Amino acid sequence: MTKRTSQSVRWVGQGMPRVDADGKVRGTTRYVNDVDYKGVLHGVVVRSPVARGILKGLVPDPAFDWSPIVLATAKDVPGENVVVMHDRTMPLIAEIGAEIRYRGEPVAVVAARTPELAAEAARRVRVEVEELPPLLTLQEAIAIFKATPEKLDSMKSQDIVKGDVATGFAAADEIVEAEYWAGHQEQLYLENQGLVVFPQKDGSILAEGSIQCPYFPVHELNDCLKLPPEKIRVRQTAIGGAFGGKEEYPTMLIGYAALPALKSGKPVKIAYERNEDILFTTKRHPVWVRYKTGVKKDGTLTAIECDFILDGGAYLTISDVVMFRGILHCAVAYRCENVTIRGKVARTNSFPCGAFRGFGAPQAIWGIESHVDAIAARLGRAPHEYRRQIHARPGDVTPTGQVLSKENGSTACLELALKRADFAKKLKQVSRGRLRKGQRKLYGVGLAFFAHGSAFTGDGEAKFKAKGRVELARLEGGKPVVDIRVSSTEMGQGVHTIFTQIAADALSLPPAHVRFPMADTGLVPNSGPTVASRTTMVVGNVVHRAAQDLKRQIEAFASLRFFQGAPAELRASQLVAPGAKPVPFAKVAKALLAEIGPASGFFQFELPADIRWDQATFKGDSYPGYSWSANVAEVEIDPLTCELEVKRVTAIVDVGRVINPTLAAGQVEGGLTQALGYAIMEKIGTGKNGLYDAARLQTYIIPTALDVPEYDVKFVEYPYSFAPPGGKGLGELPMDGLAPAIANAVEAATGRRLRQIPITPESIFAALHAPQGGTP
Amino acid sequence: MKITETIDIRFPKTLAEAVRLQASEKTRGKLLAGGTDLMVQWAAGVPIPKRAVSVWNLPELCAIEVFPDRIEIGAGVTHAFLRDAVQIHRHVPALIAAAATVGAKQIQARGTLGGNAANASPAGDTAPALLVTGGSVLLASVSGTREVPLAEFWTGYRQIAARADEIILAFRLPKKGKAQERFRKIGTRQAQAISKVMAASRILVEKGTIRSAAIALGSIAPTPVRLAEVEAFLAGKKLSPKLIDEAEKLAQATVQPIADIRSTAEYRRWASGRLVRDALENL
Ligand SMILES: Cc1cc2nc3c(=O)[nH]c(=O)nc-3n(C[C@H](O)[C@H](O)[C@H](O)COP(=O)(O)OP(=O)(O)OC[C@H]3O[C@@H](n4cnc5c(N)ncnc54)[C@H](O)[C@@H]3O)c2cc1C
């Protein structure tokens, strides 16, 4: 690892150990719930006991001693009672006389010196609601949509249109049509939601806690707290996993805690226990997706028509963008001239769904990858051969009209996956419902092939202009250190390590010189939220460029101060100039700090000027770059019990330049395991009273180490050359495709196509024993 | 919510001391063995008792004794201990297999056989394996020890035949002798899995004829149950593929499972028969 080849590109590409490993392994890292905040009040949210109704009253029990309790209701909202996410419909807290729209909707917040007293006080508030009939599930919403499409209460609709599907269907020899369903999924981060709001003397607030996107609350609570952005400061504490679950939800939590905090002038902490966290925070959106496809005998896809409807829950929050990402992934991986995709976000009386690794893409890919197998089966083609024919590759035009550049390793992923998994040979051994000679279990192998758009959708990054700094501003133990100042948060994915590698290379300094303090909106510029598989690609580039900027400043200083104006270069921890004795970096840095003060390198991200995007028509370059992957899943099903075991998974991944192969492989294996749970275990519903029915770890089933299959993960590198060091999005991609690969393998094993996940022994049993069970 | 209630926990050193504490309502406490059921229940909102009496490591409860015809396993023996007690594996293999599927290593190290039985969950993994031995439970109190057949021990949903002043001392289990045992669990995943359905069996076959059959299922009724009709049907019959088909169907016709968060009634009904098939096909 220490072999020094050239001065640059030394740490990028290495499997450097995580910079945060020590504290996490030793248990010295302190999460928000480990910190003893002196003098805080503990907040507990009082919630609606019903899924829908009119809030009639809040009656504090007169027999209870309310003197030590702070009770905040909608009356205590300083400004307009609204959380501004992607619309202005959601109140922070329900008002008397207003409609309650989901079970658990906050109606009051109580705070007290102990969590127990606060919980008791919360129980002593009688919540009076005049009940109205709720619409609880996506199934109910889709039944309405199928009967009368206009009657669906859609919070946001968006179409993508390319060519003309009517022409495409007319040219087709076969029409293949099917529907696919997926349910909620809980993020199940190890550390539950938790944060503290400190009211400040000047009327502003400081919030700290397990927060994935510190800048979100800064811009979402202004109207309701009547505070401008500069009066809402947010900083992260160590985050024990997030997966999107701590993306937009903490904004609401800050809002809840802020009410008693501002009312009492005391800091208020809200930390959920697991049960409350599962019951009353966001989940992955359930989906119903219907594909109607036209295909010629030679396999050419002539038309793709798709309805993609997410269950948004009771309020829009950020679901429009989740749906956008969903529809942009519904047909992006295949060649087709005529495409119509209609996306909608159904309103139901369930907890608002939110961000979760993949952000709509896993739902879309679940549908299309199941469906492509169904088309291949109709044509009598092998699934891999068929994908070889129709998959998108450089030069092809996506449904939004984007021409795929050379930096898309789609074919390489597909081919290497087929080769490493020995797919063609294994396909000959599949059981198709009957044990072959020598088989004791039904065997199946399945393939999925897919892309994931990196960074914000469309021209989001062009508009946003992520900003970041790399500073030389302080000594630590007498030694100069360089601080990375961006708003990206470490939540287990490894960003602190890879940015350290990127900065070290750009500066030509060893990582030991680089620090990455946790994000604090009071100290870091807005480099955007840690979401959308954008961090390595976009903010990584910002760090790279800002570090280069800092390096130039250090070199300029050294040139004048140490080399009589001769051009100096920072190389391998030394400043060197032609013909002069090198000066150690530490000496130069100390002189710089002492004589002219801190130096700061800055960069603001730009997209290439030729990126085009029209948000109104959804035409143009929908993502700056695409990561690609092909997954092969091998399954065994016990014919005795229909128990399903995923034995082996091959995942070939193009995420551009791999900054840290060890961490990248870890991300892939972790994402695949989360996708395994989505595919075959994780099940949670809102059928009864709108309350999630699997709210404990005993009933919400995720994979254990023993459930994890053998993984074969390999990278092929097609770097995003516009933004060195050239990474593309990695975080979400591994979550996207395993579910359909498993469903396709189950079809190969049983001869039945299951169109709903999770695929459980119960659903396999039902498919095998129903007369028409699940055939395509 | 965090548990901050105070529990007065007594740690008796002997069984005699423990039964004395349990004899009087004034000193009686909730019996606490490994705590792997109780702690979870308390955290989930089951009322926390004022007093508890620990039977963890009580010497009289931790013994395994082997007699010519039977073995006696103390109620305080852990699943891990059972799993590793190879000397007894051939006498009660289904029970050992069941103990080895409880939770995962950590839970097995702490959870006890007595706790599993007394907790009386229909999904308790060791119950069907205990039932098919045709053995009994020894219950201790100040008035001595009484023996209750396992067949009469689980009286209803989460109810057992022990009185409030009694402590489960041990399980008296006839050795399987020439009979064959099998245990099979269908869980929600590979570890830390509560059963959707599980079955244990002890079947004696002589010269191709079933002499006696004991088959028990868990997670399909409010208590673990023996499949008496299937057992009676099988007794005395020649083992054949047709017989197995019929036994599978009979089992499916007799069970009355319910649907819950873990499974559907239809699947449980079907799987009940499949596990009977599994027991017979592996003879
Ligand atoms: C993560 C996890 C996974 C689990 N997985 C499984 C599983 O796969 N299968 C399964 O069957 N169970 C499982 N369990 C439940 C539990 O571990 C077992 O039931 C265990 O055997 C209970 O034993 P214990 O000693 O911990 O009981 P405790 O919790 O100490 O007691 C349980 C009950 O038994 C009573 N009791 C204990 N000892 C006696 C005695 N000597 N006489 C009378 N009453 C007594 C107690 O009063 C209490 O009512 C799991 C639990 C956890 C937390």
Question: Residue A518 and residue A208: Cα distance in Å, rounded?
Answer: 11
* A58 and A65 Cβ atoms separated by less than 8 Å: no
For the range A19-24, what are the long-range contacts, defined as Cβ-Cβ under 8 Å and sequence gap of 24 or more?
A: A19/A496, A19/A497, A19/A500, A19/A511, A19/A516, A20/A238, A20/A490, A20/A496, A20/A497, A23/A238
Using one digit for the tens of pLDDT, what is the confidence trace for A189-235?
A: 999 999 999 999 999 999 999 999 999 999 999 999 999 999 999 99
> Is the domain of A586 the same as that of A657?
no
Is the per-residue pLDDT at A774 higher than 50? Answer: no
Contact A646, A676 (CB under 8 A): yes
The answer to whether the CB atoms of A765 and B44 lie below 8 A apart is no
Structure letter (DSSP) for residue A229: G
The yes-or-no verdict on residue B3 having pLDDT over 60 is: no
What is the model's pLDDT at position A325? 98
How far apart CA A431 and CA A449 sit, in angstroms, is 22
Query: A493-516 burial, b if ≥16 CB within 10 A, otherwise e?
Result: bbbbbbbbbbbbbbbbbebebbbb
Is A157 inside a domain boundary? no
Task: Enumerate residues lining ligand 1, CB below 6 A.
Answer: B 30-38, 40, 55, 61, 75, 102-103, 107, 110-112, 114-116, 118-119, 124-125, 162, 167-168, 192-194
Residue A415: count of CB within 10 angstroms of its CB: 16
CA distance A273 to chain B (A): 7
A775 inside domain: no
Is pLDDT at A588 greater than 60 in this prediction? yes
Among A656, A641, A629, CA closest to A725 = A656
Please answer whether residues B52 and B28 qualify as being in contact, where contact means their C-beta atoms are separated by less than 8 angstroms.
no
Å between A115 CA and nearest CA of chain B:
7
Q: Does B191 touch chain A (CB under 8 A)?
A: yes
Residue with tokens 């330049």: A657
User: Maximum Cα–Cα distance for chain A, whole Å?
Assistant: 88
| Band of pLDDT at residue A2, cut at 50, 70 and 90 | very low
By residue range, what is the domain housing residue A694? 287-457+616-768
The neighbouring-strand residues paired with A245 are none
B25 Cβ neighbours under 8 A, 6+ residues apart? none
Question: How would DSSP label each residue in A40-69?
Answer: PEEEEEEE-SSSSEEEEEEEE-TTS--TT-
d(CA B28, CA B9): 10
Regarding whether A589 and A729 lie in a shared domain, the answer is no
Same domain, A648 and A758: yes
HSE-up of residue B241 (Cα within 13 Å, Cβ side) = 0
Contacts of B2 in chain A (CB under 8 A): 115-116, 273
A433 located within any domain: yes
**ipTM score:** 0.96
Does the pLDDT of residue B45 top 90, yes or no?
no
Mean pLDDT of chain A: 96
What mean pLDDT comes out for the span A431-442? 97
Residue A507 tokens read as: 């500066």
Closest atom of ligand 1 to CA, residue B167 = 42
pLDDT of the residue at A773: 46
- Specify the DSSP element, H or E, that contains A341: strand A339-347
Tell me, yes or no, whether A509 lies in a domain: yes
Instruction: Collect all residues with Cβ–Cβ distance below 8 Å to A488 and sequence separation of at least 6.
Output: A495, A499, A519, A527, A528, A530, A535, A539
Query: What is the C-alpha to C-alpha distance for residues B140 and B149, in angstroms, rounded to an integer?
Result: 14
Across A514-521, average pLDDT: 97
Q: b/e string for A173-200 if b means 16 or more Cβ within 10 A?
A: eeebebbbbbbbbbbbbebbbbbbbbbe
A63 reaches B (C-beta below 8 A): no
Are the CB atoms for A548 and A505 separated by under 8 Å? no
CB contact set of A420 (below 8 Å; sequence gap of 6+)? A632, A650, A652, A712, A714
Q: Which atom of ligand 1 is nearest to the CA of B124?
A: 11
Show which of A279, A300, A335 is a domain's final residue: A279
Give pLDDT, residue A42.
98
Is A703 within 8 Å of chain B by CB? yes
Domain boundary, last residue among A262, A279, A296: A279
pLDDT digits (tens, 9 = 90+) for A647-702: 999 999 999 999 999 999 999 999 999 999 999 999 999 877 899 999 999 999 99
> Is the pLDDT score of B275 beyond 80?
yes
Give the 3-state secondary structure of A692-732: CCCCCCCCCCCCCHHHCCEEEEEECCCCCCCCCCCECCCCC
A115 touches chain B (CB under 8 A): yes
Closest residue, chain A, to B194 (C-alpha): A698
What are A78-97's pLDDT values in tens digits?
A: 999 999 999 999 999 999 99
- How far does B61 lie from chain A, in Å, by closest CA? 29
**A738 Cα distance to chain centroid:** 16
Contacts of A368 (CB under 8 A, 6+ apart): A291, A306, A329, A330, A331, A333, A334, A450, A740
| Set of chain B residues whose Cβ sits within 8 Å of the Cβ of A116 | 1-2, 4
Mean pLDDT (whole number) for A117-124: 97
**Domain total for chain A?**
3
Nearest partner of A530 among A488, A493, A484, judged by Cα = A488
3-state secondary structure of A356: coil
Question: Any CB–CB contact under 8 A between B107 and chain A?
Answer: no
Taking residues A119-128, what's their average pLDDT?
Answer: 98
Q: What would the DSSP string read from start to end of B12-68?
A: -SSHHHHHHHHHSTTT--EEESS-TTHHHHHHTTPPPPSEEEE-TT-GGGS-EEE-S
Say if residues A444 and A635 touch (Cβ distance below 8 Å): yes
Q: Using a CB–CB cutoff of 8 Å, tell me whether A230 touches chain B.
A: no
- Residue A235 shares a structural domain with residue A357: no
Interface contact flag, B264 A696, Cβ < 8 Å = no
**Nearest CB neighbour to B188, from listed A273, A693, A701:** A701
Report the residue from A640, A694, A706 with minimal CB separation from B278.
Answer: A640
Residue nearest to atom 32 of ligand 1 (CA): B115
Q: Does one domain contain both A332 and A371?
A: yes
**Any alpha helices (H) in A134-248, and if so which ranges?**
138-147, 165-170, 215-220, 222-225
Q: Which residue of A has its CA nearest to B248?
A: A640
What is the predicted pLDDT for the residue at A689? 85
End-to-end CA distance of chain A: 52
Task: Give the domain-ending residue among A263, A279, A295.
Answer: A279
Tell me whether strands A569-571 and B154-156 are parallel, antiparallel or unpaired.
Answer: unpaired
| Chain B residues inside the 8 Å CB shell of A756 | none
A2 touches chain B (CB under 8 A): no
Domains of chain B: 3-54 (3.30.43.10), 60-174 (3.30.465.10), 180-281 (3.30.390.50)
Cβ–Cβ contact B42 with A under 8 A: no
The string of pLDDT tens digits covering residues B53-70 is: 999 999 999 999 999 999
Longest dimension (CA), chain B: 63
Q: Using one digit for the tens of pLDDT, what is the confidence trace for B122-162? A: 999 999 999 999 999 999 999 999 999 999 999 999 999 99
Beta bridge partners of A446: A633
Query: Shortest CA distance to A627 belongs to which of A648, A649, A599, A658?
Result: A658
Instruction: Look at residue A669 and tell me if it is in a domain.
Output: yes
Q: What is the mean pLDDT of residues A482-501?
A: 97
First to last CA, chain B: 50
Indicate the length of chain B as a whole number: 283
Asked whether the beta carbons of residue A762 and residue B264 sit closer than 8 angstroms, the reply is yes
| A473 is a domain residue | yes
* A551 lies in the same domain as A642: no
How does pLDDT run across B162-195, given as a tens digit for each residue? 999 999 999 999 999 999 999 999 999 999 999 9
Interface test with A, best of B188, B196, B276 (most A CBs within 10 A): B188
Q: Which two tokens stand for residue A37?
A: 């905040």
Q: How far apart are CA A482 and CA A509, in angstroms?
A: 10
Distance, CA of B150 to CA of B129 (rounded, Å): 11
The token duo for A532 is 């959308």
A98 and A126 in a single domain? The answer is yes
Q: What is the pLDDT of residue B5?
A: 77
Scanning every residue of chain B, which has its alpha carbon at the shortest distance from the alpha carbon of A271? B1
Band the pLDDT of B43: cuts 50, 70, 90.
Answer: confident
Q: For a substitution probing ligand 1, which of B30, B32, B37 has the most ligand atoms within 8 Å of its CB?
A: B37
In the block, residue with structure tokens 């007093």 = B51
- A254 Cβ contact list (under 8 Å, min separation 6): A195, A197, A205, A207, A217, A221, A234
The answer to whether the pTM exceeds 0.80 is yes
Q: Which residue has the tokens 């030991």?
A: A512
- Amino acid identity of A561? R
The tokens for A425 are: 């040979």
Question: Is A308 found in the same domain as A433?
Answer: yes
Of A640, A642, A704, the CB nearest to B191: A704
In whole angstroms, how large is the CA radius of gyration of chain B?
19
Confidence of residue B4 (pLDDT cuts 50, 70, 90): low
Query: Looking at ligand 1, which atom is closest to the CA of residue B162?
Result: 43
B277 touches chain A (CB under 8 A): yes
Distance CA(B154)–CA(A238), nearest Å, equals 48
Tens digits of per-residue pLDDT, A160-192?
Answer: 999 999 999 999 999 999 999 999 999 999 999
What DSSP state is assigned to residue A751? Answer: S
pLDDT at A477 over 90: yes
pLDDT grade, residue B28 (50/70/90)?
Answer: very high
Helix (H, G, I), strand (E, B) or coil at B227: coil
pLDDT of residue A575: 98
Q: Are A554 and A570 in contact (CB under 8 A)?
A: yes
8 Å CB contact of A765 and B267? yes
Residues A329 and A423 in one domain: yes
Provide, as residue numbers in chain A, all residues whose Cβ is less than 8 Å from the Cβ of B258.
none
- A567 within domain boundaries: yes
Residues A431 and A553 in one domain: no
Of A715, A617, A72, A73, the C-alpha closest to A399 is: A617
Name the pLDDT band for A775 (thresholds 50, 70, 90).
very low
A125 and A253 belong to one structural domain: yes
Shared domain check, A294 and A261? no
Q: Residue A565 is part of a domain; what is its CATH number?
A: 3.30.365.10
Q: Which of A640, A693, A761 sits opposite B267 (nearest CB)?
A: A761
Per-residue pLDDT for A7 more than 90? Answer: no
**Tens digits of per-residue pLDDT, A756-769?**
999 999 999 999 98
Q: What is the pLDDT of residue B143?
A: 97
Question: CB atoms < 10 A from the CB of A517, how many?
Answer: 12
Residue B231 confidence (pLDDT) above 50? yes
**Residue A145 located in a structural domain:** no
State the nearest Cα–Cα gap between A170 and chain B, in angstroms: 44
